[in-house]
């Protein structure tokens, strides 16, 4: 599996990925908040990028772990653990990420 050539092989099947992970951020920004359905939204990275890493890299795989949150819910999400956020709002953020990622890839 590789991202630079964007050719992914899995169990004998090939998937050619023509989109860059950073393009998913623009897609997420255009969505409504998964909690209150307001826009505009911030892309909230579920897999943290970490300090000192270049967020502008187009091939950064962490960009694919984003969900759309309005600014207030984004701030609230970072003020608590991921499980606390999910319990409070009765949402599975990884299922939401999967939904938006699938929608973007098939779009």
State yes or no: pLDDT of 90 exceeds 80: yes
Better-scored residue on pLDDT, 67 or 14? 67
| H or E stretch covering 72 | helix 71-78
- pLDDT averaged over every residue in the chain: 82
Better-scored residue on pLDDT, 10 or 53? 53
Q: What integer pLDDT is reported at residue 8 of this predicted model?
A: 46
Which residues lie across from 7 on neighbouring strands? Answer: 16
Q: What integer pLDDT is reported at residue 56 of this predicted model?
A: 66
Give the span between the Cα atoms of 69 and 77, in whole angstroms: 9
State yes or no: pLDDT of 34 exceeds 80: yes
**Residues 86, 89, 95, 99: what is their CA dihedral angle, to the nearest 10 degrees?**
-150
Residue 40, preceding peptide bond in cis (omega within 30° of 0): yes
């Amino acid at each position: 599996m590789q991202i630079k050539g964007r050719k992914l092989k899995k169990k004998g099947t090939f998937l050619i990925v023509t989109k860059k992970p950073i393009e998913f951020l623009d897609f997420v920004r255009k969505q409504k908040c998964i909690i209150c359905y307001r826009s505009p939204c911030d892309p909230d990275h579920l897999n943290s990028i970490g300090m000192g890493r270049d967020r502008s890299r187009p091939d950064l795989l962490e960009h694919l772990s984003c969900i759309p949150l309005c600014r207030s819910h984004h701030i609230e999400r970072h003020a608590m653990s991921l499980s606390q956020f999910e319990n409070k709002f009765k949402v599975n953020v990884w299922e939401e990420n999967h939904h938006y990622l699938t929608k973007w890839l098939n779009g």
